[in-house]
Structure 1
Amino acid sequence: MGLIVDIVRSRELPDRQAAQERIEETFRAIADVVDFVRPLWPTVGDEFQAVFADLSGALMATTMGRLLLPEQIDCRFGLGAGEIQDVGEGATGPIQDGSAWWCARDAINEAHRREKAANPYLRSWFISADRPAEDGVINSYLLMRDHLISAMKPRERRVTAGSLLGQPQAEIAGAEGITQSAVSQSLRRSGGAALLAGHYAMQEPGTS
């Protein structure tokens, strides 16, 4: 599973270098809880790539990325399922090619096209070279996921991220300086509870 990431409106960022460092730092933290075949690495311009063993890991990592990055740093994700093969060696590791990367490139272009056309909240798209019949199901999930996250306030994102990581509500409440009841209300009001339910449903057998 190949993932291509680019920074949304990177030229408008007041501190481009700081944004780059924050994205790399965030995905290093995500790598502590999600299995990467090859962790996120910068490529050219405002792009990054990563490799996962399966769709489940890619969905978890991109969900966490959107929840944990600050509001002013937004990323777009192209997920591609297919073959990945090493074709050479570069300064930062193997140079790769294959259908997963072709699909990931098409997917990030499609996400950008749809974002500009009719879905301004959309940041992710999925294309499979092996099982195209499942593309519609996964992209329906991504449309709803991105809509919910794009509408969340910073605290709502942090609360949802903590819950997705399995942190007890009392622990999240303590970190945020609010009550446990307020954490529960935040999850219901923001759609975080629905996002969690959707994530767990995606982990069920036959969905990845």
Structure 2
Amino acid sequence: MVVAVIADIVGSRRLPDRSEAQRLFDETIARVDGEHPLAERGLRPTVGDEQQGVYRALDDALASLLLLQLALPDGAEFRFGVGIGQIHPVESEHRSLSDGPGWWAARQAIEIAHERQQRAVPSSRTWIVGAPGQTEVMDTEIAVSNMYLLARDAIVTRMSGRERRLAYGRFNGLSQRALAEQEGITQPAVSKALHASGATALLDGLTMLMGGAR
């Protein structure tokens, strides 16, 4: 089993410069993957406003997607569908392709995330679906993970661009003093922003998700 991820750009039709936005997304994905290489095959554009990537484990996928959310600037957002299941290569004369239950589950997951965002949970950005045939234990793990994602996305979507930058920098090991210099604010202001935004709790959870190592 692997973890397949489909990402689409939130509000892509409202972007004033789609090409410039794509450059920004590409650069941010490359930076996050370079600093935290968790993907087996990192997110890459496919068609329209979609990206696809593959991860070896669910923890790796969830950690990488959160780091990407934190690294993106204001006005740039992804929605993620995470599918757990088999994928396999498909022969083609044009380019390498893959298919399988993992991708079908990821497609279903992103549709659920979008529906939740449009209706009951506007902050929803990420959802997980397991392909048919998962064990009861896996189903329970997915349910718990989706509960975590609902809370996590609610925190991230309320954060300002500065608060996300501070959280990402703090996770990368920068001191509050260094972050204050970067942002042109005081160290107490950095501390207040990290706590008030929920970033401190978010980063503690991320550390646990990545096995306690930073």
Query: Is the TM-score greater than 0.5?
Result: yes
TM-score normalised to structure 2 length = 0.89
Paired amino acid for 2:120: A
Q: Deviations over 1:145-173 (max 9, x none)?
A: 11111111111110011122232222222
Structure 2: gaps of 5 or more residues: none
Paired letter, 2:83: G
Q: 1:132 to 1:94 in 2, by over 3 A?
A: farther
Which residue is equivalent to 2:89? 86
Q: What's the Cα RMSD here? A: 1.6
Alignment map for 1:52-201 (pairs within 5 Å): 52-89=55-92, 91=94, 94-129=96-131, 130=134, 131-201=138-208
Looking at structure 1, the residues matched to 178 and 45 of structure 2 have their Cα atoms a distance apart, in angstroms, of 34
CA contact (8 A) 1:121 1:150 kept: yes
> Once the two structures are superposed, what CA deviation does each residue of 1:86-141 show, in whole Å capped at 9, x if it has no partner?
112465x5201122111111110000011111111111101123322211111111
**What stretches of structure 1 of length at least 5 have no aligned partner?**
none
Distance of 2:186 and 2:62 partners within structure 1: 30
- How many residues align structurally? 204
8 A Cα contact 1:34 1:60, kept in partner: no
1:107–1:51 distance in 2 versus 1, CA, 3 Å: same
Match of 2:39 among 36, 46, 53: 36
Q: Distance in 1 between matches of 2:119 and 2:91?
A: 38
- Per the normalisation by structure 1, the TM-score is 0.92
Deviation at 1:77, TM superposition (A): 0.5
Deviation at 1:204, TM superposition (A): 4.3
Q: Give, as a single letter, the amino acid of the residue that structure 2 aligns with 1:16.
A: R
